[in-house]
């Protein structure tokens, strides 16, 4: 299935996402303050921050599901060829249609594009193979474990060949072992065909494992406290390595005070 390979082909147009001075408030509650950030092509940017700091809101804005009060979000460059939906989500609660099979859920994202039956079936077979779901094409979501459901959601996202994947705590509803397996899967997928992604999480271990850059947000109103870059390639990251442990420790220092203060605020509210 060569035509879908989207690794760095020479001369190919690139697309990145640029946020400048994005601020937002719900009613009187300021949620995001002055976020300026670039999501470079082919990299995974993780966004971490205490619960309620506006991570999901920010992600909804990046995908055009919500408008910021101030600032702008720009799509720079053209999406890759064969891209059906440039900005594509993977949701925490999977968002699968319970009345459609695994293959049916993936075809939902393709049907409106009139690709023709064979092309559509090709794409579905390809993404099912890439996510290890080929044997489950005919299963209904209720027959699948949480990890399998999220794999289906990832397959559905891959099917539209997105320019940027927007993942909102995709592993938070899963148990620890499943989380490990899915992280390995994501790293495998990225290594074989690098994609651009914004990955929201409150789990620092996930961020250190998957992020090329980690954006730390302060408690509400969410503002960027620091951006931590990790140069170690994804496929060779060994979490016991002192550098990575130090990075995670540093992130935890940043997060701890914010999380504690945010916790106290929620208790008062």
Ligand X SMILES: Nc1ncnc2c1ncn2[C@@H]1O[C@H](COP(=O)(O)OP(=O)(O)O)[C@@H](O)[C@H]1O
Give the footprint of ligand X on this chain (CB under 6 A).
Answer: 26, 31, 49, 51-57, 220
Between 85 and 92, CB nearer to ligand X:
92
156 or 247: CB nearest another protein: 156
Distance, in Å, from the CA atom of 105 to the CA atom of 141, rounded to the nearest integer, reads: 9
**Pairing outcome for strands 16-26 and 70-76:** antiparallel
Q: How many Cα atoms occupy the beta-carbon half-sphere of 158 within 13 Å?
A: 28
> What is the per-residue binding string for another protein in 124-163, x denoting contact by CB under 8 A?
----------------x-x-------------x---x---
Q: Which stretch binds another protein (CB under 8 A): 3-11, 32-40, 85-93, 176-184?
A: 85-93
- Residue 92 CB, shortest distance to Mg ion, in Å, is 7
C-alpha distances (whole Å) from 73 to each of 24, 80, 184, 197 are 13, 19, 31, 15
**Total count of residues recorded for the chain:** 269
Listed in order, strand segments (DSSP E) in 155-266 are 164-168, 196-201, 213-217, 224-229
Q: How far apart are CA 134 and CA 130, in angstroms?
A: 9
**Residue 19 Cβ, how far from Mg ion at the closest point, in Å?**
17
**124/255 with CB nearer ligand X:** 255
| 56 binding Mg ion? (CB under 5 A) | yes
Complex with another protein: residue 95 or 239, whichever CB lies closer:
95
- Tell me the CA distances in angstroms from 75 to 22, 41, 60, 86, 167, one per residue in order: 14, 11, 14, 9, 17
Answer yes or no whether residue 85 interacts with another protein by CB under 8 A: yes
Binding residues (CB under 8 A) for another protein: these are 63, 65, 84-85, 87-89, 91, 93, 95, 97-100, 108-109, 111-112, 140, 142, 156, 160
């Amino acid at each position: 299935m060569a035509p879908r390979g989207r690794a760095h082909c020479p001369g190919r147009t690139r697309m990145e996402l640029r946020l400048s001075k994005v601020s937002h408030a719900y009613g009187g509650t300021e949620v995001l303050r002055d976020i300026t950030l670039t999501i470079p092509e082919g990299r995974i940017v993780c966004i971490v921050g205490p619960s309620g700091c506006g991570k999901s809101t920010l992600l909804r804005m990046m995908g055009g599901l919500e408008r910021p009060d101030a600032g702008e979000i720009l799509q720079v460059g053209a999406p890759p060829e064969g891209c059906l939906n440039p900005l594509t989500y993977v949701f925490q609660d999977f968002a699968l249609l319970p009345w459609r099979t695994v293959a049916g859920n993936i075809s939902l994202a393709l049907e409106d594009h009139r690709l023709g039956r064979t092309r559509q079936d090709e794409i579905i077979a390809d993404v099912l193979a890439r996510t290890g779901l080929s044997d489950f094409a005919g299963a209904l979501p209720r027959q699948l474990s949480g990890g399998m459901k999220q794999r289906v959601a990832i397959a559905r996202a891959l099917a539209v060949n997105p320019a940027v994947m927007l993942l909102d705590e995709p592993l938070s509803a899963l148990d620890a072992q499943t989380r490990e397996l899915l992280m390995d899967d994501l790293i495998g997928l990225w290594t074989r065909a690098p994609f651009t992604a914004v990955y929201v999480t409150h789990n620092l271990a996930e961020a250190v494992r998957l992020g090329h850059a980690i954006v730390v947000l302060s408690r509400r109103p969410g503002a960027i406290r620091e951006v931590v870059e990790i140069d170690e390639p994804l496929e060779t990251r060994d979490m016991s390595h002192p550098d990575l442990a130090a990075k995670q420790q540093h992130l935890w220092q940043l997060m701890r005070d914010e999380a504690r203060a945010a916790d106290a605020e929620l208790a008062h509210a």
